[in-house]
Amino acid sequence: MPGMSRRASVWLPIAVILIAMLSIQSGASLAKSLFPLIGAPGVTALRIALGTVILVIIFKPWRLRFKKEQRLPLLLYGLSLGAMNYLFYLSLQTIPLGIAVALEFTGPLAVALFSSRRPVDFVWVALAVLGLWFLLPLGQSVGHVDLKGAALALGAGAGWAVYILCGQRAGEEHGPATVALGSLIAAVIFVPLGMAQATDSIWQWSVLPVGLAVAVLSTALPYSLEMIALTRLPTRIFGTLMSMEPALAAMSGMIFLGETLTLTQTLALCSIIAASMGSTLTMRPPHKINEVDIN
């Protein structure tokens, strides 16, 4: 039944994105609990190092072969992966999780906006922007948000945009296995950088189990799932679907970090979710989701 098969091929990557976002926000809340012990750079180093080890064991990236035109996107994909993790964790030191993710989301939002072609697409982008506008304060005025933390989160957003654009090109042939090589590229730069800035507590064995959980929830699982979605969905759809990330971050912060939401913030989350659902429900599935079929 080709109709059912086509619908399944559209909804599967959407479900994969949702699982990835839930995983990464749970990992972010857990990672923030380690900040007082080893610092944000230390958590970044631990996350990337352990996540890379897991991905390398699973996907064995040394067996992959990339075409010449894929090498630069692969390099940029790996660098952006490391940069957005590093900058995002630094921003969490001074601003709440929900605000950090909302500011970081400007990257995927820009991808969605510049990739839009139909008038209805701009309705969903406008809804997402409206939600972000009211979500940003999180119970306080924007003027009281630490400017350095906000700038770091915006930098992470720029890295996220590059991650989406380059990841789609780099992973079109090898799919999730590409994440292992991208993570290895990120580890070469950001693990030594993070270790140099971490406290001595990073060498305590008690830190390892929590660091491993952060690596699985924030790197190994979500990035593998996102690569599946990146290579099966149009860039516009992927970027707009990621608008649910701030909503999930705010909920994660409320559950794990004790952050509360006002009525305005709740309505803002509903606006963001509506944008994601609208983009998904109005997209027209092409005969082929992408030019590459991942088996």
pTM over 0.85: no
Q: What is the pLDDT of residues 135-144, one digit of tens each?
A: 665 445 545 5
Across the range 239-250, mean pLDDT stands at 71
pLDDT at 131 over 80: no
Q: In this predicted structure, what is the pLDDT of residue 6? A: 53
CA 231 to chain centre: 15
Tokens of 78: 């790996």
Tell me the one-letter amino acid at 97: L
Report which secondary-structure segment, H or E, holds 107: helix 106-115
Q: Which of 153, 138, 150, 158 is nearest to 87 (CA)?
A: 153
pLDDT at 294 over 50: no
Q: What is the pLDDT of residues 162-206, one digit of tens each?
A: 988 888 777 666 666 788 888 999 999 999 999 999 888 888 888
Using an 8 Å Cβ cutoff, are 38 and 46 in contact? yes
**What percentage of the chain has pLDDT greater than the value 90?**
17
Q: In this predicted structure, what is the pLDDT of residue 147? A: 79
Q: Between the ranges 3-7, 90-94, 129-133, where is the mean pLDDT highest?
A: 90-94
Query: Which of the four pLDDT bands, split at 50, 70 and 90, describes residue 290?
Result: very low
Q: Is the dihedral of CA 231, 232, 234, 238 positive or negative?
A: negative
Using an 8 Å Cβ cutoff, are 240 and 275 in contact? yes
Give the residue, 195 or 59, on which the prediction is more confident: 195
Residue with tokens 């709440």: 96
Q: In this predicted structure, what is the pLDDT of residue 249? A: 77
> Which residues neighbour 207 within 8 Å (Cβ) at sequence distance 6 or greater?
34, 37, 38, 46, 201
Using an 8 Å Cβ cutoff, are 134 and 268 in contact? yes
Using an 8 Å Cβ cutoff, are 179 and 55 in contact? yes
Q: In this predicted structure, what is the pLDDT of residue 72? A: 86
Specify the length of the chain in residues. Answer: 295
Query: Which of the four pLDDT bands, split at 50, 70 and 90, describes residue 18?
Result: confident
Phi, psi (degrees; rounded to nearest 5) at 45:
-60, -45
Q: Which of 235, 221, 227 is nearest to 175 (CA)?
A: 227
> Which residues neighbour 288 within 8 Å (Cβ) at sequence distance 6 or greater?
none
